[in-house]
Amino acid sequence: MNRCANNGCLVDTKLPLPTDPTELYVAPLPPVGCNKLRCVHCGAAVRNAPGLAFATRDDVSAAQLSELYDLKDLTKSRLIDTTHPKFRLYICRCSRWLENDHHFITTPDRDVFTDPNVPWRCDGHPPIQFPHDIHGVRVATRDELRDFVVRALHGFDPPGAMPDEKNAEWLRRLYYRLSPADAGLVAQLAAGSFGDADPVARQRALHFFHDVPDPAARERLADQFTAHRNLFAGIPDRSPRHTTDSTLEHAAWRLLHGSIPTSPRIRDLARAEALAGKASRALYDGIVKADARWLDEHVAEVARAAPDHVKTLEQSFRVTDDPAIYEGLRGRALKAVGKA
């Protein structure tokens, strides 16, 4: 079974609550309501009703909730009234919640009226079995899945994809809806697209792996990145994940960040790039986060390698949580280029 991140998400009627039991929420993608919530106290599957609410904020007994839960039409109960059509009422046999935006089940309760504190959890979603309708496209076999994913990597979005899942975010969520073998096929196809002649395929592959941890894919990217830099450098990223990024080279470094602590090859590549003056927030952010000890020893050299970009380097220092570390790095970097 596949499970929603954060134990599931409660959503109002403006956010998607799919009926397909294989659908689930994947962090940090846009919120998707969990349709398989179950209460760990009473054991009941959680029901939901759009546009309805309890007629009073007064306490409702467990017996009343249980009786209400069994009603096919909740509006037949005197406890229930209509409310704003955006709101969605959730109930089990022992708990209730009225959602007017979205909340993750694991969000700590801070206010009884704004943060849910309910004993509900995602009960698991079955992996996709073929044939299956994927956002309006019928995929019947593993070969058809392969063709479907290749089309997606090259820019195709199925008609039923959610409007806010741009840049094939639906494809990353699809990965988590599949069986391990089928998910592995999707990852294999995405990694193979790092060297694709189509920049759209390269872009979608890079963004795919930001939400799909795969050290082997990052090593494969390093192969392409070092051998064929022209596939990334200066190529626009049409939907960058960070406002400071603009090219596929930046997207590549964002992805390679994850292997700087564990891959000597990628760590050495990042260090060499910094010392060669190939300045970017994407590169510097990764070194600050994952190779801070080395940077502490070489910050002056890194600053002198790209003196016109010392401001970029200084901005990357801000990802540290320690003001003293930030000020120390900043002072030595500025001094190295005569701007202290």
13 touches 99 (CB < 8 A): no
- How does strand 52-54 pair with strand 9-11? unpaired
Q: What is the DSSP string of 103-171?
A: EETTSPP--TTTS----EEE--BPPP-SSEEETTEEE-SHHHHHHHHHHHHTT---TTS-TT-TTTHHH
- How does strand 80-82 pair with strand 52-54? antiparallel
Range of the domain at 113: 5-122
The encoded tokens of residue 18 equal: 């799919």
In a domain, 44, yes or no: yes
In a domain, 70, yes or no: yes
Q: What is the pLDDT of residue 336?
A: 87
In a domain, 94, yes or no: yes
Question: 139, 140, 141: which is closest to 156 by C-alpha?
Answer: 139
Number of domains in the chain: 1
In a domain, 52, yes or no: yes
Q: What is the pLDDT of residue 108?
A: 62
- The CA distance from 297 to 294, in Å, is 5
In a domain, 332, yes or no: no
Model-level pTM? 0.88
Q: What is the pLDDT of residue 295?
A: 94
Which DSSP symbol is given to 44?
P
In a domain, 9, yes or no: yes
- The CA distance from 179 to 2, in Å, is 9
Q: What is the pLDDT of residue 162?
A: 82
pLDDT tens-digit profile, the chain (340 residues):
999 999 999 999 999 999 999 999 999 898 999 999 999 999 999 999 999 999 987 778 889 999 999 999 999 999 999 999 999 999 999 999 999 999 999 866 565 556 678 999 999 999 999 999 999 999 999 999 999 999 999 999 999 988 777 778 899 999 999 999 999 999 999 999 999 999 999 999 999 998 898 999 999 999 999 999 999 999 999 889 899 999 999 999 999 999 999 999 999 999 999 999 999 999 999 999 999 999 999 999 999 999 999 999 999 998 887 888 888 889 899 888 887 6
In a domain, 196, yes or no: no
Q: What is the pLDDT of residue 175?
A: 97
Q: What is the pLDDT of residue 245?
A: 95
In a domain, 93, yes or no: yes
Q: In the block, which residue shows the tokens 């039409």?
A: 73
Q: What is the pLDDT of residue 231?
A: 97
| Residue 10, beta-bridge partner list | 103
Q: What is the pLDDT of residue 112?
A: 57
302 touches 295 (CB < 8 A): yes
Q: What is the pLDDT of residue 109?
A: 58
